[in-house]
Structure 1
Amino acid sequence: MFEFNNSISVIGTGYVGLVSGACLSEFGMNVICLDKDEEKIKRLKKLEIPIYEPGLYDIVKKNVNMERLSFTNDLKYAVENSEVIFIAVGTPPLEDGSADLGYVLKAVEEVAEYMNGYKIIVNKSTVPVGTGKKVKAKVKEVLDRRGADDIFDIVSNPEFLREGAAVKDFTHPDRVVIGVESKRAEYIMKQIYNVLYLISVPFVITNLETAEMIKYASNAFLAVKISFINEMANICEKIGADVHHVAKAMGHDGRIGSKFLHPGPGYGGSCFPKDTRALAYTAREFGAKSSIVETVIKVNENQKERMIRKIKCKFSGNLKGVNIALLGLSFKPETDDLRESPALYIGNRLVEEGAEVNVYDPAAMTNCQKLYPELKINYCRDEYEACTNAEAVILATEWNQFRSMNLSRIKDKMKRLLFLDIRNVYEPEKMKKLGFEYEGVGRK
């Protein structure tokens, strides 16, 4: 029988790393979260959470107080005091669409420098098929140079976290995917996730390549559903059908399901855009066709630009000097993440077209000011200030507070009552009765 002392380190305290580390400590593991960013670690030690994620602060605070969760910049300490090391660093896209493995391989190389006995290196980052083998080769190369024992295992354990619901997704997942090459690694990984096994969460135990592929295939399929319903919405607008009724009827079919059949300005975030491009690149690299994925990428890009054409059409193709209220910046509600955000794309394009853009987002404005200081938009205190003297309102991110706005107050503040609801939050007939010139996506 194998043994495991419940000691884990997580390399990287970004979105995936911090959520994973905190939730693993909630599972009863002793977790050390490491990051090279000294300022970030100082903040975490003070229980200052650098990302907006509901429920995360409470778990971090609880497990820090119980001394199961700690933060450090000391890689040597983290590696030497852990049997299992999760790699959760970024894999940003390169210009050709492939995933940049530089951070992963650098982290693995540095970890191998301090390995002091048997270790399991778990790849939590989203990586293309074949990365596990590259990680294994890199570790062996360093250990051979050091003249150290090369007893270690590589595991692929992809994450399936939705921003805004990441804590729930980690603690109550649809499945746990584990790619392994040894019974020892399989046993220890099952021990780590034992609390999930006890609540009957399905486990998929497979090899490294299959685990890596599962992550890309899952995200690509969800991206397909989003792009498909957006294409249907565009057709519905032309023929006078209502895409919401179409999606509802489709969703009742058990073979299809209702999730991700929500029309809008296209998908964004840290996963779908990056992962679809990386999967398409991998297919090309291995000489396989990925016509559906390639098309989905094009459909999504076109959908964002289609939103700009919608608003331009209302002003005879000229937005110069038009005062527009943009409600939302993050790519989805309950997060401050701006990566590949359709709302941010729209804000950028409106500025390029010469519009005067007033913006309000409940969580993402600080991030936007920090990351895009050159963006010429006006940040407002709330949605009502943003709508003051607006000639058009664009509801771009479906935050809950935008679902229950005082529409009479919005109406009184606007100069022209044009309401472009690209998330289909409001009912067209209700908006028209209130006097708005209303347009959604895929609705007559």
Structure 2
Amino acid sequence: MTGVRVGVIGAGYVGLTTAVCLAERGHPTVCVDVDAGRVEHLNRGTPLLDEPGLPLLLRQGLDAQTLRFSADYTDLADRDLVFICVPTPSRFDGSADLSAVEAAVAELASLLPSAAVLVLKSTVPVGTTRWLARRLKPTGLRVVSNPEFLRESHAIYDFQHPDRVVIGADDDAAAEMVAAVYGASAPTLRMSPESAELAKYASNAFLAVKISYTNSLARLCAGVGADIGDVTRCMGADVRIGQHFLQPGPGWGGSCLPKDTAALLHTGRLAGVELPEVESARCTNAAQPARIVSTLSRTMATPLAHARVAVLGLTFKAGTSDVRDSPALTICAELGRTGAQITGYDPRLEQIDQAALRRASIVAVDDPYLAAKDADAVVVLTEWPEFCDLNWPLIAEQSPAAVVLDTRNLLDPASLADTGLTYLGNGMPSGY
């Protein structure tokens, strides 16, 4: 199905990915964002987001005139479908802030033609889709829940090759229109709006639980002399468990898992249902910075208050420049409170928000060897493969007494041992 007039609200990771991918499929697409400067950059073909495949699809859509960007909602007046892809950040009590969703719906309510479909891709609390449908019933507009399941650094691939497209709707015609723009080959799961909304939160919370459980196992492995790599290799071979999200690390972060677990707990409280598994996962995650600081404190020759700590990796995961809720920055801030001097390096340093680094007490440098020079500890916090290729013997010459704390188990312990550096792997017998 091509030729459906598509609108997208929001030009962040989800909105921009949705816009360029639907334009590629031949749907005339207009993407509206409130940031006029961002719109100007996008119309010139500058994506602003660090996402593989995005620059090519953006340029193709602009050249084919199937894609354009605007800061004016009236450019959506003739749209058949409008995808709402705006942020829903956490409030202080864990609930989702829907102000951006409500503002977008208010703009569209008197603008779109009757029978147009609003598609909620923003992650919203259970009941939001039905509430908006009731509110918009006098206008004839229909509302469908269509949660996103995109991974940063793989967003284009995930949109083009989804493992499932979830459509929550009571209106069959609206649901079929949404399914059609994805294409006949997309595996589609139809359900109620409430189920679709909860499925998004439930999926992310389960991943968070899985990661936190792995980090707890890593701590146990170090305590009893087991190897977390062996333990998770065994677990992952079981098809009932699967191998994904069984890697230990410095904790989980990013734009989804922290806020979605908080929102799920808030939903549970409203319904009188406790979710202790999710609560425990958040507690385990919150304890990771202290675990790392404690390890450094007891293994370095220099007290933390006088130590120089080099940090490799600042983004919340490899393949992106996103530092939103990055565990790396949380750990650096914790180290900064001890008085340690923190020097940080990341391969995407030029694209990272420098103000966020300063708030985390990080002095950022564009050379990993400069970051590690004269360090008392080198902490690997993001799983960038480039760190495996560093000249570790040179680092050992410059910082012979350094402790290398590898939170991601990215490096080869034997190679590090040959340099004379003290290597501490996450969940390893001689680690932490």
Q: Give TM-score, length-normalised by structure 2.
A: 0.96
> Residue 430 of structure 1: CA displacement?
2.8
Task: Show CA shifts across 1:387-425 (max 9, x none).
Answer: 111111001101121122121222222252311111101
Distance 1:317 1:162 in 2: 40
- Secondary structure of 1:139's counterpart equals helix
Structure 1 residues 376 and 218: alpha-carbon distance in aligned structure 2, compared to 1, 3 A threshold: closer
Q: Which residue of 2 aligns with 1:90?
A: 87
Q: Which residue of 2 aligns with 1:147?
A: none
Distance 1:39 1:87 in 2: 20
Q: Which residue of 2 aligns with 1:15?
A: 13
1:334 aligns with 2:330: no
Letter in 1 for 2:104: A
Distance 2:263 2:305 in 1: 37
Contact 1:53 1:164 in 2 (8 A): yes
Q: Which runs of 4+ in 1 moved over 3 A?
A: 315-318, 370-376
Moved more, 262-271 or 409-418: 409-418
Q: Which residue of 2 aligns with 1:74?
A: 72
Could you tell me which of 190, 206, 228 is aligned with 2:179? 190
1:399 aligns with 2:384: yes
- Secondary structure of 1:205's counterpart equals strand
Structure 1 unpaired stretches of 5+: 145-149
Q: Which residue of 1 aligns with 2:401?
A: 416
Contact 1:154 1:181 in 2 (8 A): no
- Secondary structure of 1:320's counterpart equals helix
Could you tell me which of 90, 97, 101 is aligned with 2:98? 101
Could you tell me which of 210, 224, 241 is aligned with 2:195? 210
Distance 2:428 2:155 in 1: 32
1:159 aligns with 2:148: yes
Distance 2:223 2:359 in 1: 38
> Residue 5 of structure 1: CA displacement?
4.3
Task: Show CA shifts across 1:275-322 (max 9, x none).
Answer: 111101101111112111111111111123211211122247931121
Letter in 1 for 2:338: E
Contact 1:329 1:365 in 2 (8 A): no
Contact 1:98 1:278 in 2 (8 A): yes
> Residue 373 of structure 1: CA displacement?
4.3
Task: Show CA shifts across 1:76-115 (max 9, x none).
Answer: 112x121101000000000011111111111111111212
Q: Which residue of 1 aligns with 2:290?
A: 305
Structure 1 residues 265 and 374: alpha-carbon distance in aligned structure 2, compared to 1, 3 A threshold: closer
Q: What RMSD over aligned residues (CA atoms) do the two structures have, in Å?
A: 1.6
Letter in 1 for 2:109: A
> Residue 139 of structure 1: CA displacement?
2.6
Structure 2 unpaired stretches of 5+: none
> Residue 203 of structure 1: CA displacement?
1.0
Number of equivalenced pairs: 429
> Residue 364 of structure 1: CA displacement?
4.3
Q: Which residue of 2 aligns with 1:49?
A: 47
1:254 aligns with 2:243: no
Could you tell me which of 129, 135, 139 is aligned with 1:138? 135
Distance 2:388 2:414 in 1: 16
Contact 2:30 2:75 in 1 (8 A): no
- Secondary structure of 2:353's counterpart equals helix
Contact 1:327 1:394 in 2 (8 A): yes
Structure 1 residues 24 and 304: alpha-carbon distance in aligned structure 2, compared to 1, 3 A threshold: farther
Letter in 2 for 1:190: A
Distance 2:415 2:383 in 1: 18
1:221-232 matches, within 5 Å, as 221-232=206-217
Q: Give TM-score, length-normalised by structure 1.
A: 0.93
1:386 aligns with 2:371: yes
1:238 aligns with 2:223: yes
Moved more, 424-433 or 27-36: 424-433
